[in-house]
Amino acid sequence: MFGYRVPAPDEAMLISGGRRGLGGAPFRVVTGHGKFVLPVFRKTRFLTLSMCEAEVTETCVTKQGIALHVRAVIAFKVGNDTESIVNAGQRFLSDQDQMSVLTGRIFAGHLRSIIGSMTVEEIVTERQKLAAEVLETSKTEMAKIGLIVDSLQIQSIDDGDVGYIDAMSAPHKAAIHRAAQIAQAQATQAAVEAEQVAARNQAEYARQTAVVKAEYSAEVDRAQAQAAQAGPLAQAHAQQEVLAAQTELAERAAELRQQQLVAEIVKPAEAEAERIKVLAIAEAERMKIQAEAAASYDRVALDRMLIDQLPQIVKEAAGGLAGANVNVLNGADGLGEIAAGLVGQGLTILDSVRQNLGGSDRSEGKGGQLSLPGLSSRSGSGGAAKGDGPVGLD
């Protein structure tokens, strides 16, 4: 549209003529939007707000009096606020390239000032500190001209032919060189050890390969030997099985024959022996019974014979007393005692005969003369009879 102006995103539009701007500025500032400008009565100009760059190469003297060649790069721009745009527009609107020249000169002065208060060691080892101090000291001065600094980079520091920086770095270089040599030696040693390990591994692999080959060859030889012996071994096993079967058959035949012999000879012989034993036991039992019966019969016969001979025994005893003078001391009682004594003596003689016959051969008493203890067959007046009673003999 005729008379309507719009600034670019990185520009500020300055409108002069008509009303004054903020703070009594000779122009109004428009950013980010368009504005209708009356032709002929108003005039518009544009101020860049984009990033600018300034390079500083300066020779500075340190606190130690050593000259250093310092190269730095400054990144700056016009501030986004209206006050910074007004300050920068009033100074650089007709020649905006002068912003980089002026900025470089400002920073060169501050750089010389700050480096003059520092040693070479501090400058070399603390570059960030140097840049921060330069930025801090230049901030107020840059703000007066409407500029702000985004960054300051110290690109290089060189002492020329003095050699101070090289001398300062010599210990570090020596240490680095020594560390490099040590690292190289360690790398060489590691390489040698790796080669030795590889050689040992190869030797071990070769040994294992030889062992495996030898084992394989031995296994093949064993397999061939077993294959060669398989036929004879099979035949020998077959013969052994045949012999075992024949042996088992012979053992079974012997067992069968033994069983037959036992059934034909041993069992009948055992049965006959058992029969004879039973007959012998029966015969012995029969003879024992007969002997007991005979002994019982002999005792009965002996008792009967003694009973039969008892009168004769008493008679003999009485005959022995016939020629004796018997004095009866107590009359009828004494005579009764003598009779009783004779009867008791006869019974005693009968018991003695029975005991003698029980311990001697029974055949001795049959049909023979009995010998009675306590009696004699002597006749006459000299014979005497012993009695239990009170008998007196003259």
Q: Which of 74, 49, 93, 48 is nearest to 149 (CA)?
A: 74
Question: Could you give the CA distance from residue 370 to residue 354 in angstroms, rounded to a whole number?
Answer: 12
120-134, 201-215, 322-336: segment of lowest average pLDDT? 322-336
What is the distance, to the nearest Å, from the Cα of residue 4 to the centroid of all Cα atoms in its chain? Answer: 94
In a 3-state reduction of DSSP, which class is residue 358? helix
- pLDDT tens readout for residues 219-245: 898 888 888 887 787 888 888 888 898
In degrees, to the nearest 5, what angle opens at C-alpha 249 toward C-alphas 246 and 250?
A: 85
Rounded to an integer, what distance in angstroms lies between the CA atom of residue 282 and that of residue 270? 18
Rg of the chain taking only CA atoms, in angstroms: 84
Res 380 pLDDT > 80: no
Q: Which residues sit opposite 393 in a β-bridge?
A: 326
pLDDT at 379: 37
Cβ atoms of 115 and 154 closer than 8 Å: no
- Checking phi first, is residue 393 left (phi over 0); if not, alpha (psi -120 to 50) or beta? beta
Tokens representing 95? 């020649």
What pLDDT is attached to residue 392?
Answer: 35
Domains and CATH numbers, the chain: 4-161 (3.30.479.30), 308-393 (no CATH)
CB 12 within 8 A of CB 45: no
* Segment among 67-76, 171-180, 331-340, 374-383 with least mean pLDDT: 374-383
Cα atoms in the 13 Å half-sphere on the side-chain side of 48: 13
Is the model's pTM score more than 0.85? no
pLDDT reading at 344 higher than 90: no
326: enclosing H helix or E strand? strand 326-327
What is the per-residue pLDDT across 60-96, written as a single tens digit (0 to 9) for each? 888 888 888 999 999 999 988 888 888 888 888 888 8
More reliable by pLDDT, 2 or 192: 192
Report phi then psi at 360, rounded to 5: -120, 180
Write down the mean pLDDT value for the chain.
78
> At residue 197, does pLDDT exceed 90?
yes
Q: Check the CA dihedral 119-124-126-128 and report its sign.
A: positive
Cα angle at 250 between 245 and 256, to 5 degrees?
Answer: 125
Give the SS3 label for residue 227.
helix
158: left (phi over 0), alpha (psi -120 to 50) or beta: beta
Q: What is the pLDDT of residue 231?
A: 77
Total residues found in the chain within this entry:
394
pLDDT higher for 183 or 364? 183
- Distance separating alpha carbons of residues 119 and 148, to the nearest angstrom: 29
Is residue 388 within 8 A of residue 348, CB to CB? The reply is: no
Residue 376 has pLDDT above 50, yes or no: no
Rounded Cα gap, residues 29 and 16, in angstroms: 9
Neighbours of 81 (CB within 10 A): 13
pLDDT tens profile 127-173? 888 888 888 888 888 888 899 998 888 888 888 778 887 787 788 77
Look at residue 279 in the predicted model and tell me its pLDDT.
86
Q: By the 8 A CB rule, do 86 and 23 touch? A: yes
222 SS3 class: helix
